[in-house]
Structure 1
Amino acid sequence: MLVPAPFRPRAMHLARLLGRPGFHLFLTGLLMALGFTLAHILSERSGREQLSALSTERLELYASNLAAELGRHAYLPSLLAIDPTLQALVAAPGDTQRRLQAGQMLARINVRAGTHQIFVTDAQGQVLSASETLTPPARLREAMAQERSQFFAADDKTGSTDFYMLHPLRQQGRTVGVIVVRFNLAPLEATWVDMGLRTQRERILVADDQDVVIMSSEQAWKYAVLDRADPSRRAALQASARYPQDIGPDLDLPATLQAHEGTPVSLPGAPALLAQQRQILPLGLRLVALSDLGEVRRQARLAAWGGAAGGASIGLLVLYLSSRRRALRQLTQTQAELRQAHAQLEQLVDSRTAELRQTNDALKTQIAQRLQTEGELLQTSKLAVLGQMSAGLSHEVNQPLTALRALARNSIRLLENGRQDAVATNLQLMDDMVERMSQITRQLKSFARKSDERGVGSASLLDCVRAALLLLEHRSRLLHATADVEVPVGLRVRAEPNRLEQVLVNLFGNALDAMQNEAERRLVVRVLAQDGGQRALVRVQDSGAGVSDADLARLFEPFFTTKPAGEGLGLGLVISAKIVHEFGGTLRAERLEHGMSFEFDLAVDTWDATGDSQDV
């Protein structure tokens, strides 16, 4: 290509400039700097994204772990709220014997449930009974005044964080006391510390609604303030009685952290960290994960040197192409240097690729282990629920199945005698019992699920009593037992008929079991008016042997039974007490001179003084 005459001097000057070694050195340095910078930026960005993704997964695991730990005993306060021992205690808080009985029961339940403390207070926050001697936290009265169901408080002795769950004790529509369950979160913090040591020094913080750290894998940051706190705010935090007297230093974390990309932060006494957070709204908590960026930056530096080597290779290549016209020796020497540089670069790239692949495999293994652990926890929970449903189903369906068998045998005899009308009646009764068993299973699932107060309808008490006696007719006939029923015909109570019938079947069945070995077998069902006819007291008495004082105090404990092994699960009275409680009443037991008496009260819809009695 020919260059026009006016441009030849400039072209010759440019050719001389490109042929100078200094220019090539400058170009090579520029390419190295550019490769160093780009490789560092891209590698650090990629490393942050990978670390952020991994930290996000671990953050969800920590959040699930925390929520599961805090919800592990959520059922306990509401279950204790219907216990007759505690109801009797709040009814007579000054009775020393009732306080002693309640304390012994709370101590047993505290050991079985694995909690740290369980105690009962009156409506003013004064401790009535406890599983052990204690001083209630200063925040208890504040939480009771705000009608809170849970709160966190610091343990003044150990400095660890305690979680308190509250449930009110109500009688006649007003709060007369509170059940408080406490357990300590120090074991969970220790688990976080161990996981942080095995995951590149990851730090975990949990802050409350005041942005004060209440749980941390770094003890130096315990009770520190996430953002900046002025003296007035520190004084207010110390006066709130939530924390120890000394509030920790300001961590100066941003008010808003990225939930996915992460935010680089620097904290006192810690290297550069990648901060991510997750809000736990039901508890009002803020879970913050801080991942060490040291490994990411080290990888970025290595990648930057690789980029610089790549830039140097390009510069050397340009130098080689521009020096092709030089002597063959210089060309050969340059080619050798280029091959050597290229071989070193490939070796470095292969080494880094192998390290990255190994790191990726290790991360996949950790993720698989965590997913397996979550699956096992979920399966354990499913098995626990299945066990509870199976136990209740086998107890509640056994009596209707026995009645179905008796009706089926009776139908065979009636067919042999040609009494088709009676057979049709029996078949209709069997169909009704099958429907009733399906309703019982639905009720069992409803009892196992935590629910709010549910509405009830209107039920004829006499019809429910007759239906329950019909289910147990074959047993009473075998025992030659009689039933004395005094229930007004027009009495309707506020209850759901099927569940009320379930309560009566449990009480009648227990009475028949208690009278098996007695000479006189008599079952008495009476109704007394209370509160001027606004409520009806249903009393079921038997002529059995009764129970001892020790067994009487434990009748309403789950899985406690006085029957021989294999004949009872100890769930009938617990389920009956739960159903009566949902109807707005209380199931109680009392020893008689000969036998036992169980009674419960229900609200009245309509009352007719006309009586009715029935013998079995």
Structure 2
Amino acid sequence: MPVPDSFRPRVLRLLRPLSRPGFHLFLTGLLMVLGFVLAHRLSERAGRDELSALSTERLGLYAANLAAELGRHASLPSLLAIDPTLQALMLAPQDAERRRAASQTLARVNVRAGTQQIFVADARGQVLSASEALTPPARLNEAMAQGRTHFFAADPTTGSTDFYLLHALPQPGAAAAVIVVRFNLAPLEATWVDLGLRSQGERILCADDQDVVIMSSVQAWKYAALGHADPSRRQALQASARYPQPIGPDLALPASLEVHQGQQVQLPLPGARSTQPMLAQQFQLVPLGLKLVALSDLSEVRQRAQLAAWGGAAFGASIGLLVLHLSSRRRALRQLTQAQADLRQTHARLEQLVDSRTAELRHTNEALKTQIAQRLQTEGELLQASKLAVLGQMSAGLSHEVNQPLTALRALARNSVRLLEGGRHDAVATNLQLMDDMVERMGRITRQLKSFARRADEQLAGDIPLLASVRNALLLLEHRTRALGLQADVDVPADLRVRAEANRLEQVLVNLLGNAMDALDAQGTPQPGPLRELRVRATALDGGRRVLVQVQDSGGGMTDADLAHLFEPFFTTKPAGEGLGLGLVISAKIVREFGGTLRAERLPQGMSFEFDLAVETWEAARESDDV
């Protein structure tokens, strides 16, 4: 039914407070409280049901395990009753020989069955034969009088619970004797204690027919009463000789507990100052007269309930905020409708502004396109210049590395001329072979420098002798050592093999040895001596898995300023025209590809260039060669 026009203003006045922000905030708070309470109750109930189902399942497993443990030896007394030795003992109970034979039989069975004790007692409870010397438990006469087949009793020495199995043994002309098998439940209780230490959320205890705890995963609860025990009942329990120690404090558990649903109780835990809420469930072992009680910690359930409650509060708040948003949106739409008239008035001015701005944007866009084209052209030119610089650096490095083999070829050619004049053709043939090797070496060097900037597949490192590479490098520089009057001191084991590529390793050694000779040549000393030394050393590192190669000289050394720029391209301390400053850069690159690092160290007299390599083979024996 539509509302008449005359009533609309009055309705709007009545509904106006409901559209104010204060009302929506109050509604949001109310929804938060309702969501908090409802989610907390539902989550706590679901958590308790889940915990109860899980605890019920575990309680059944504990009960089955306990029943299996107690029934493991249930048939042993009846089997012993038909043993001929025991039947012979019943015919003459006072015969010492028959008692000794029966004791030996019981001792063998006790060891094989894994029980604690087996003995035969007469109707008065006197031991006739036993697997070992013992004192019968105080409850034996009571159990025999009541015709029981089993009973529990505490071990006064260890405080643990023992289980006794009884079986009647007929005795001619007298009351029936009884066979008693005793075994200890301490191993089973130890598993409960271990479970209680590893899982703080669940405790298990077992009570006898007097509601006294005889086994528990919490040792402080052992021999405590489940319910309330007044002083007279405590005195009667203590006088029954069932328990080795006084009855502990009451646990204040209800007399009957549900198996599936359980009941919430408050129990003080050992070491805790306050009680803790727990879910108690009970399982009856009627044939054994025992009660299994599982106590599950409700702390986690409460924490989940609190989290769910805050989630419910957040959900209620979100609903309230959504209502507030819709109300605000409604007010915004109303304001937007009122502002449409103003927008129509300014629409013409906006169109003019848009047209002018569009023209400006077109002009700016054209300018940006021009700048982008110029930038791309500049980047292409810079890239081409970078390529030309790299090609120049590679050609300079090629001329630097080829210069050393050419020097060796020049020396060998001059030596061959002199040998021809002397008629030593065999030596000339040897020099020609060496020259051919040098030419081949130059070819390999140029190929290596060509692929220097990248790691190629054909440059994989192999197993090579280090001493051979050192000798080859010294052979290339033999003309310089002869001219300087030097004798290199080489301390490298002959059987040391490293992980490297022979040609490139010789290239590094030639460069380092050549720099050392330049430093010695700069001293100007005419004859060798303590101040003119050239040394090559190999020292074990990392337990013999790596080797440190050192090339040392006794030259003038370097300053701190020179050391800071030593491995920079085109930096050299040599005079103009004698070096390009690329040798150490290339050598450091090669060593790095071998998995090592090239370093420079100042000595008290001279310099030491060293690098490390991986060792393939290095026997215990070492040999030192002087070249």
| Paired amino acid for 1:321 | L
Report how far residue 18 of structure 1 moved.
Answer: 1.5
* Structure-2 change in CA distance of 1:67 and 1:330 (3 Å): farther
Higher mean displacement: 304-313 or 266-275:
266-275
SS of the residue corresponding to residue 119 of structure 1 reads strand
1:142 counterpart residue number: 142
Q: Could you tell me how far apart the structure 2 residues matched to 1:116 and 1:54 are?
A: 35
Listed as ranges, the gaps of 5+ residues in structure 2 are: 270-274, 337-627
Contact 1:90-1:176 within 8 A present in 2 as well? no
Q: Return the alpha-carbon distance in structure 1 between the equivalents of residues 153 and 100 of structure 2.
A: 27
Retained in 2: the 8 A contact 1:212–1:223? Answer: yes
Secondary structure of the 1:163 match is strand
Q: CA deviation at 1:90?
A: 3.1
8 Å Cα contact 2:259/2:282 also seen in 1: yes
Aligned to 2:152: 152
Name the aligned partner's letter for residue 27 of structure 1: L
State the distance in 1 between where 2:335 and 2:250 align: 64
Deviation at 1:74, TM superposition (A): 0.5
Residue of structure 2 equivalent to 1:227: 227
SS at match of 1:323: helix
The equivalent position to 2:294 in structure 1, one of 266, 289, 299, is: 289
1:306 to 304, 307, 311: 311
Q: How many angstroms apart in 2 are the aligned matches of 1:312 and 1:63?
A: 48
Secondary structure of 2:329's counterpart equals coil
Q: 1:12-41: CA deviations, max 9, x gaps?
A: 454232233222221111111111111111
Pairwise CA distance, 1:195: 3.1
Report the CA distance shift for 1:117/1:15 in structure 2 as closer, same or farther (over 3 A). Answer: same
CA distance in 2, matches of 1:314, 1:249: 52
Deviation, structure 1 residue 127: 1.1
Query: Structure 1 pair 14/173, CA: closer, same or farther in 2 (3 Å)?
Result: farther
Alignment check: 8 A CA contact 1:225 1:250 kept = yes
Aligned to 1:278: 283
CA shift, 1:201, in A, is 2.7
Change (3 A) 1:173 1:271: farther
Structure-2 change in CA distance of 1:99 and 1:321 (3 Å): same
Change (3 A) 1:325 1:70: same
Between 95-104 and 191-200, report the one with greater CA deviation.
Answer: 191-200
2:291 partner letter? R
SS of alignment partner, residue 180 of structure 1: strand
Partner in structure 2 of residue 589 of structure 1: none
Contact 2:285 2:292 in 1 (8 A): yes
User: Separation in 2 of the partners of 1:329 and 1:164?
Assistant: 89
Partners of 2:113 and 2:72 in 1: CA distance: 10
Query: Which residue of structure 1 lines up, in the alignment, with residue 248 of structure 2?
Result: 248
Aligned counterpart, 2:56: 56
Distance 1:274 1:4 in 2: 65
Distance 1:114 1:3, change over 3 A: farther
* Distance (whole Å) between structure 1 residues aligned to residue 74 and residue 60 of structure 2: 21
Q: Which has the larger radius of gyration?
A: 2
Distance 1:173-1:292 versus aligned 2 partners, 3 A rule: farther
Secondary structure, aligned partner of 2:134: coil
Q: Does structure 2 conserve the Cα–Cα contact (< 8 Å) formed by 1:262 and 1:274? A: yes
CA distance in 2, matches of 1:22, 1:119: 87
Which amino acid in structure 2 is aligned with residue 24 of structure 1? H
- Compute the displacement of 1:199 (Å): 4.6
Kept in 2, the 8 Å contact 1:168–1:175? The answer is: no
Check conservation: 1:169, 1:175, Cα contact below 8 A.
no
Give the secondary-structure state (helix, strand or coil) at the position aligned to 1:86. Answer: helix
* 1:144 Cα deviation after fit: 0.8
Deviations 1:246-278 (A, max 9, x none): 101111111121111111111122521111111
Contact 2:117 2:131 in 1 (8 A): yes
For residues 3 and 123 of structure 1, do their structure 2 counterparts lie closer, same or farther at Cα, with a shift above 3 Å needed? farther
Q: Secondary structure at the match of 1:182?
A: strand
Q: Match for residue 194 of structure 2?
A: 194
- CA deviations on 1:46-102 (whole Å, 9 max, x unpaired) are 111111111111111111101100000011101111112122223323222222221
* 8 Å CA contact 2:196, 2:218 repeated in 1: no
Shift of 1:200: 5.0
- How many angstroms does 1:299 deviate by? 1.1
Distance 2:26 2:335 in 1: 20
1:213 corresponding residue in structure 2: 213
CA distance in 1, matches of 2:100, 2:288: 34
- AA aligned opposite 1:29: G
C-alpha change, 1:50 and 1:198, in structure 2 (3 Å) is farther
CA deviation profile, 1:303-356 (whole Å, cap 9, x unmatched): 11111110000010111122123347999xxxxxxxxxxxxxxxxxxxxxxxxx
The answer to whether the Cα contact below 8 Å between 1:55 and 1:289 also exists between their aligned partners in 2 is yes
What does 1:346-385 correspond to in 2, within 5 Å? Answer: none
Q: How does 1:50-449 map to 2 (within 5 A)?
A: 50-172=50-172, 175-269=175-269, 271-327=276-332
Q: Aligned AA for 1:2?
A: V
User: What secondary structure is seen at the aligned counterpart in 2 of 1:73?
Assistant: coil
Paired residue for 2:22?
A: 22
C-alpha distance in 1 between matches for 2:212 and 2:54? 26
Question: What is the CA-CA distance between 1:282 and the residue it aligns to?
Answer: 0.6
Residue in structure 2 matched with residue 481 of structure 1 by the alignment: none
Secondary structure of the residue aligned to 1:324 is helix
Distance 1:309 1:242, change over 3 A: same
Q: Which residue of 2 aligns with 1:569?
A: none
RMSD, aligned CA: 2.2
Distance in 1, matches of 2:80 and 2:329, equals 92
| Alignment partner, residue 2 of structure 1 | 3
Tell me which amino acid in the other structure corresponds to 2:161: T
Query: With structure 1 as the length reference, what TM-score do the two structures score?
Result: 0.51
- Secondary structure, in 3 states, of the residue corresponding to 1:247? coil
Q: What secondary structure does 2:204 align onto?
A: strand
Q: Mean alpha-carbon deviation: is it higher for 219-228 or for 241-250?
A: 241-250
User: Does the CA-based 8 Å contact 2:171-2:177 persist in structure 1?
Assistant: no
Distance 1:158 1:265 in 2: 31
Cα distance per residue 1:555-598 (max 9 Å; x no partner)? xxxxxxxxxxxxxxxxxxxxxxxxxxxxxxxxxxxxxxxxxxxx
102 and 322 in structure 1: CA distance in 2 versus 1, 3 angstrom threshold: same
